[in-house]
């Protein structure tokens, strides 16, 4: 009897150690952050049970052919949430829409098309149920997980915006790659995010591409002394004219893997943006960069929390907003409005997709 108790305790201890090392953060139906009013974990469990799995399998399909699409979708999510909240207003393809603003002109057309295609699938299965705002948030979460990052539950129940912001509002709300640590903290604080969230979410730069123009200020007229000299030499060769059409990997070590390499790169001067290097210009943020560089698990845990917090910025719920029929087009407000099909929108995006 005594030996059985010892064996049971030994097995229990081993299980606890194993469970504590897993990257999967919350269990089914639970979350790291309490949802804001109107959102819920498992919101579509009854109304559209296949919703989250449809997003998952769709992203798997897209990333299997081009893993770099992950960064494109995650960037869409960030740029949407920071301008009038996570309401999918960025997805609207309009001559005066948010996509035409300077910070959004380099968004991937193929990433936008991915969201429209997922919406098309869900409209076939559950018409008028799943919002574009939720599709974008779920797709971004899947891109994080499927490129090597953690899996975590996020609350759903968002509704889509009825309009989009103008250029001035976009410029006011999207943090620029030239921002200082003071400007970054101010921008994130305005969204209810703290400095730890800032450092954690900046870690998304561990994947993806950057255009030369976004960091040309660190190369010309003189090279930023905080930039690693070897990297600076390579960038000057890659970006001879600061052309917006030339791109380079954000993470020069593990460009397609969602990990903590970004923080080690930062400590070594191997990051591209002024806003990346700026994280070392403050005692608290520098300490957090060091912690994340030393502990990938700690980074992934905090990124999950910060991602969920960001996903709840200014959300529309309940009777606010609507469920858009096509993510790229605002719902018709009258019978005289022009009808645009999902297939037409997808075809248009795929024709101009270049990255």
- List the Cα angle 343/328/153 in 5-degree steps: 105
* Residue 210 three-state SS: strand
Other Cβ atoms closer than 10 A to 264:
19
Two tokens at 162?
Answer: 């009825």
Q: For residue 29, what are the β-bridge partners?
A: none
Pull the structure tokens for residue 150.
Answer: 């953690």
Active-site residue numbers? 79
Question: Which residues partner with 156 through β-bridges?
Answer: 40
Backbone angles phi, psi at 202, to 5 degrees: -65, -25
Contact (Cβ atoms closer than 8 angstroms) between residue 175 and residue 285: no
Query: What φ, ψ does residue 65 adopt, rounded to 5°?
Result: -95, -20
Q: Is the distance from CB of 253 to CB of 261 less than 8 angstroms?
A: yes
Which residues make beta-bridge pairs with 159? 316
Task: Give the separation between CA 137 and CA 59, rounded to whole angstroms.
Answer: 12
């Amino acid at each position: 009897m005594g030996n059985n108790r010892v064996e049971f305790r030994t097995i229990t201890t081993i299980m606890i150690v194993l469970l504590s090392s897993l990257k999967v953060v919350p269990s089914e139906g639970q979350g790291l952050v309490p949802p804001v009013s109107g959102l819920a974990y498992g919101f579509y469990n009854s109304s559209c049970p296949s919703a989250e799995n449809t997003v998952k399998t769709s992203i798997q399909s897209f990333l299997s052919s081009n893993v770099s699409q992950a960064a494109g979708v995650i960037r869409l999510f960030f740029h949407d949430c920071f301008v009038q909240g996570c309401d999918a207003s960025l997805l609207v393809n309009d001559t005066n829409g948010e996509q035409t603003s300077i910070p959004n002109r380099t968004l991937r057309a193929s990433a936008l098309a991915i969201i429209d295609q997922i919406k098309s699938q869900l409209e076939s299965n559950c018409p008028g149920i799943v919002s574009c705002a939720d599709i974008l948030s779920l797709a971004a979460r899947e891109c994080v997980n499927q490129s090597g990052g953690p899996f975590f539950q996020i609350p759903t129940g968002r509704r889509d915006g009825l309009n989009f912001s103008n250029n001035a509002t976009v410029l006011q709300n999207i943090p620029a790659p030239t921002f200082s640590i003071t400007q970054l903290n101010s921008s994130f604080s305005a969204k209810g995010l703290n400095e730890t969230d800032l450092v954690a979410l900046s870690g998304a730069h561990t994947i993806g591409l950057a255009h030369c123009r976004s960091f040309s200020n660190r190369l010309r007229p003189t090279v930023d002394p905080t930039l690693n000299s070897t990297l600076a030499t390579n960038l000057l060769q890659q970006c001879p004219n600061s052309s917006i059409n030339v791109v380079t990997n954000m993470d020069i070590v593990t460009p397609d893997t969602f990990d903590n390499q970004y923080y080690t790169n930062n400590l070594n001067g191997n990051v591209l943006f002024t806003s990346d290097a700026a994280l070392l210009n403050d005692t608290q943020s520098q300490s957090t960069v060091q912690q994340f560089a030393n502990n990938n698990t700690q980074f992934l845990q905090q990124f999950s929390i910060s991602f969920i917090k960001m996903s709840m910025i200014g959300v529309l719920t309940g009777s606010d907003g609507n469920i858009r029929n096509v993510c790229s087009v605002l719902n018709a407000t009258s019978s005289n409005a022009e009808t645009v099909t999902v297939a037409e929108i997808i075809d248009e995006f795929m024709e101009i997709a270049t990255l």
